[in-house]
Amino acid sequence: MRTLFQRFVGLGFGLVLATLLGAGCAYRLGPSSGVEPGARSVAVQPFENRTVEPRVTDSLSTSLRSQLQQEGTYRLERHGDADILVAGEVIDIYRREESFQARDIRTVRDYRFTIVAHVTATDRRTGKKLLDRSVEGHTMLRVQEDLASVERQAMPLLTDNLARNITSMLVDGSW
């Protein structure tokens, strides 16, 4: 006859085994859009800059190309013979107060740094717009003596976040 302890151990082992087996059923490797990795190609065209921030589009293009290569769903092409052409314009860059000093609620401690770009992805063969919307990227800035230097140093982080968001929309097909 089994003891009560042996029953609980057996039941616990069974529950853990069922949980582990059930958790793996919904997971799938590869792109979530159903596109075969590398089956289609994408070219990133230079973005237009509608802000006063210099060289932001260079940083964004570099980040977007890097994200697309790292993600692997699409082959990255340098010329216009790609299946999908990605273009856009950086519309706005701004910061908003996120937190304040503990003893002085008028002095900002952190800013939320935001970039907004309007992105279009067009199927080169059909001319159909696959993506045509505004996308945002964010990062946090800790206020120091020279806010301009902090913003300049945070720009690659900001464009990386925007590039991740654009890549996610392209790959997951949330158009």
pLDDT, tens only, 78-136: 876 899 999 999 999 999 988 888 888 888 889 999 999 999 999 999 999 999 999 99
Indicate whether this model's pTM tops 0.85. Answer: no
Sign of the torsion angle spanned by Cα atoms 142, 54, 91, 74: negative
Of the listed ranges 24-33, 47-56, 145-154, the least confidently predicted one is 24-33
Confidence at residue 175, expressed as pLDDT on a 0 to 100 scale: 47
To the question of domain 37-172 being in CATH 3.30.160.150, the answer is yes
